[in-house]
Structure 1
Amino acid sequence: MERTDTADGPSKVMSMRDAVAAFVHDGATVCLEGFTHLVPTAAGHEIIRQGRKDLTVVRMTADIVVDQMIAAGCVSRLVSSFVGNSSAGSLGELRRRIERADPAPLAFEEYSHYGMVCRYLAGSQRLPFYPLRSYGGSDLPGVNSDLRKVTSPYPGPDGEPEQIYVVPPVNPDVTIIHAQRADRRGNTQIWGLTGIQAEAVYAADKAIVVVEEVVEDEVVRSDPNRTLVPSHAVDAVVVCPRGAHPSFAQGYYDRDNDFYRAWSHISKDPERLRAWLAEWVYGTADHAGYVEKLGEEFWAGLAVGEALSEPVNYGRRL
Structure 2
Amino acid sequence: MYWTGFTPDEAREILVNKDKSKRDKRMELAEAIDIFVKDGYNIGIAGFVNSRQPVAAIHEIIRQGKKDLTLSFQSAGLAVEYLAGAMALDPTRCSIKRLEFAYWAHESFGISPLFRYLAESGKVELEDWSNFNMSARFKAGAMGIPFIPCRSPLGSDVMQANRSKIMECPFTGDPVALLPAAHPHVAVIHVQEADIYGNCKIKGPLFTCPEIAMAAGYTILTCERIVDHERIINDPNRVNIPFFAVDAVVEVPFGAYPGNCHSHYYFDERHIKELQAAGEAFRKGDRKPLENYYTHYIYEVKNTAEFLSKIPYKQLQHIQQIEIRDFRLIHSVSRSDNGANAKSPAMLHRQLSSGR
Please indicate, yes or no, whether the TM-score normalized by the shorter chain is above 0.5: yes
Task: State yes or no: 1:27 paired with 2:40.
Answer: yes
**In the alignment, what sits opposite 1:233?**
245
Residue from 291, 296, 312 that aligns with 1:279: 296
The C-alpha deviation readout for 1:139-187, integer Å capped at 9, x for no partner, is 112222x0210121112xxxxx121111111101101100001111111
Shift of 1:55: 0.5
Give yes or no for the alignment of 1:98 onto 2:119.
Answer: yes
- Report whether the alignment pairs 1:109 with 2:127: yes
Q: Distance in 2 between matches of 1:54 and 1:115?
A: 24
Cα distance between partner residues in 1 of 2:154 and 2:242: 36
How many pairs were matched up? 294
Verify: 1:37 aligned to 2:58, yes or no.
Answer: no
The one-letter amino acid paired with 1:175 is A
The amino acid across from 1:242 in the alignment is: F
* Per-residue CA distance 1:238-288 (angstroms, 9 max, x = gap): 110001011112221112123333433221122122321111111111111
1:182 aligns with 2:194: yes
Query: For residue 342 of structure 2, what is the aligned residue in structure 1?
Result: none
Deviation at 1:50, TM superposition (A): 0.3
Please say if residues 37 and 194 of structure 1, whose CA atoms lie closer than 8 Å, have aligned partners that are also in contact.
Answer: no
Instruction: Provide the C-alpha distance between the structure 2 equivalents of 1:192 and 1:10, rounded to a whole number of angstroms.
Output: 27
Asked if 1:222 is matched to 2:243, the reply is no
More strand by share: 1
- The secondary structure found in structure 1 opposite 2:240 is strand
The Cα shift of 1:34 comes to 0.6
Q: TM-score, normalised by structure 1?
A: 0.88
Structure 1 residues 141-156: aligned runs within 5 Å: 141-144=159-162, 146-155=163-172
Mapping 1:10-159, distance limit 5 Å: 10-35=23-48, 36-73=50-87, 74-101=95-122, 105-144=123-162, 146-155=163-172
Structure 2: unaligned runs, 5 residues or longer: 1-20, 88-94, 333-356
Q: CA deviation at 1:33?
A: 0.6
Instruction: Please report the RMSD computed on the Cα atoms of aligned residues, expressed in angstroms.
Output: 1.7
Q: Relative contact order (C-alpha < 8 Å, sep 6+): which is higher?
A: 1
Unaligned runs of 5+ in 1: 1-7, 156-160, 311-318
1:94 to partner: Cα distance: 1.5
Q: 1:184-222: per-residue Cα shift (whole Å, max 9, x none)?
A: 111111111221000000001101110000011121122
Q: Aligned partners of 2:304 and 2:275: how far apart in 1?
A: 19
For the residues of structure 1 that align with 2:161 and 2:319, how far apart are their CA atoms?
41
Equivalent position amino acid for 1:64 in 2: L
| Partner SS for 2:34 | helix
Q: What fraction of aligned residue pairs are identical, expressed as a percent?
A: 30
Asked whether the 8 Å contact 2:53–2:76 carries over to 1, the reply is no
Tell me by how many angstroms 1:137 deviates: 2.8
Structure 1 match to 2:308:
291
Give the TM-score taking structure 2 as reference length: 0.79
Asked if the contact 1:37/1:193 (under 8 Å) is kept, the reply is no
Contact kept, 8 Å, 1:192 with 1:250, in 2: the verdict is yes
Whole-angstrom distance in 2 between the partners of 1:34 and 1:143: 24
Give, in angstroms, the shift of residue 224 of structure 1. Answer: 2.5
Q: Structure 2: how far apart are the matches of 1:174 and 1:38?
A: 17
Inter-partner Cα distance in structure 1 for 2:226 and 2:312 = 23
Which residue identity is paired with 1:68?
Answer: Y
CA–CA distance in structure 1, aligned partners of residues 107 and 301 of structure 2: 25
Matches within 5 A, 1:224-263: 224-263=236-275
